[in-house]
A and B are shown apart, each in its own frame.
Chain A
């Protein structure tokens, strides 16, 4: 029979193994980013023209084709947040704070997170299954035989195209949520646009741009590296493709949300330090 001490050591052992697995996985993914960038720019293979045609295709599939879905979600979430904020702030007598609230909720938090989740659902799955199928169909081996590094031909363009797409989609999300959301709200509320625009303009700060770039660039990089990495893990056959696709989605969601949480926490800690509260 297992003693309490044995049980405790076993638990610690399991936790340690889990932490090690996460650390190793993260290091492998980071190594793949490094190797794909290195292979693209520093190796002798000079197929940059071919690589950038894949980048533009990735931007089309991830960025352009996601616009209708992003529009619907941005409009809906923008309208909801604006309506709720106006109602609550009017009750509290702080209607002019609407801009600050929207910048915090939509620009800093909802836009990066929802955009990332949509891109994971649409393109992360597509990239993982596409690369998985490429492994099964020996397309990856065929590239190697032709002297084309799969990291520069397959991974790098998806990474660059993905980051550009996420940045553009997040910006588009903010525009639609703030402007479209206001227009929808006008159906039930008579707040003048000049008042709303003035409140928003006063609320935007330089750190919002930094936060926007930081969150969206890294979210894009995380989604497309994790998805590509999972796709390349297919070894034996087509039955592995759905498994790696599911893993790509789960890991991307976890990494993106944890990253957003860390950035937000650090940002607000910094704000508290600036205010002298810590």
Chain B
């Protein structure tokens, strides 16, 4: 069993990032405040998904530092980052489900693999998520044989099932059913209020979804990421 770390601070320091020689943002500095929900906003293709991928440790900065608890993620090996990584819930905008596993197996994989939970606890959490996101009927089917909204619901549910300290949602409501979107808002509120989830970053253009929460804006403008404070509902 792996001991997870408690994540106290998340910071970008002089961080630049780009793909194929093109910088999306450069020398950006910000620190996320605990217990708040951040709305990552930018023009299309300006780097919202890239920021989320950086935060999840899927890509490394071109220059500068991404610090977790003051430690540079770029200096960590896969194994050193693992205790932090297990505290992250990530919902992809597209794809992300394992096609050779059923919806239920996709949900339980992050819980089963590292043996952090008992079989009863895994079953309890899985059934809870299946009910919340209306996936009970699709539970034993593979992603290719369920609807797009059920696939999206499964990706979102999988990011929540571990009750993450850091929740990163990339376009979570695109393709998600109305009731599942309501359930997502409710669960985020519940996790943040209970202190289970300390940092939430959501990249979306769905105003109706954002209006149901109190969010702070994290803007990507002209190659810089900056905090804009509380967003008007």
Tell me, yes or no, whether A binds B: yes
B90 at the A/B interface (Cβ < 8 Å)? yes
Q: Given A50-B112, A138-B96, A139-B99, A145–B90 Cβ distance below 8 Å? A: yes
A149 at the A/B interface (Cβ < 8 Å)? yes
A192 at the A/B interface (Cβ < 8 Å)? no
Q: Given A46-B114, A145-B90, A139–B82 Cβ distance below 8 Å? A: no
Give Cα A46 to B97, complex, Å. 21
Q: How many A-B residue pairs have CB under 8 A?
A: 73
Contact B98 A139 (CB under 8 A): yes
Q: Which residues of A contact B79 (CB under 8 A)?
A: 43-44
A interface residue count range (under 10 / 10 to 19 / 20 to 34 / 35 or more):
20 to 34
B104 at the A/B interface (Cβ < 8 Å)? no
Contact B110 A146 (CB under 8 A): yes
A13 at the A/B interface (Cβ < 8 Å)? no
Contact B86 A147 (CB under 8 A): yes
Contact B96 A141 (CB under 8 A): yes
A94 at the A/B interface (Cβ < 8 Å)? no
Main secondary structure of the interface of B (DSSP, over half): loop
A57's nearest neighbour on chain B, judged by CB, is B100
B25 at the A/B interface (Cβ < 8 Å)? no
B87's nearest neighbour on chain A, judged by CB, is A147
A45 at the A/B interface (Cβ < 8 Å)? yes
A16 at the A/B interface (Cβ < 8 Å)? no
Q: Which residues of B contact A189 (CB under 8 A)?
A: none
Q: Which residues of B contact A134 (CB under 8 A)?
A: 98-99
Q: Which residues of B contact A50 (CB under 8 A)?
A: 109, 112-113
Within 8 A of A (CB), among B73-93: 78-79, 82, 85-86, 88, 90, 92
Contact A141 B58 (CB under 8 A): yes
Contact A45 B58 (CB under 8 A): no
B96 CB to nearest A CB, Å = 4
A97 at the A/B interface (Cβ < 8 Å)? no
**Most B Cβ at <10 Å: residue of A133, A137, A139, A145:** A145
Q: Which residues of B contact A146 (CB under 8 A)?
A: 109-110, 113
B43 at the A/B interface (Cβ < 8 Å)? no
Q: Given A138-B92, A147-B86, A47–B98 Cβ distance below 8 Å? A: no
Give Cα A149 to B81, complex, Å. 11
A144 at the A/B interface (Cβ < 8 Å)? yes
Give Cα A149 to B1, complex, Å. 15
Contact A44 B82 (CB under 8 A): yes
Given contacts A139-B96, A139-B98, A147-B86, 12 further A-B contacts (CB under 8 A): A39-B78, A46-B115, A50-B113, A134-B99, A139-B95, A139-B99, A141-B53, A141-B58, A145-B88, A146-B110, A146-B113, A149-B78
Sorted nearest first, the 8 A-B pairs with minimum C-beta distance are A146-B110, A138-B95, A47-B113, A137-B95, A145-B90, A142-B96, A147-B85, A138-B96
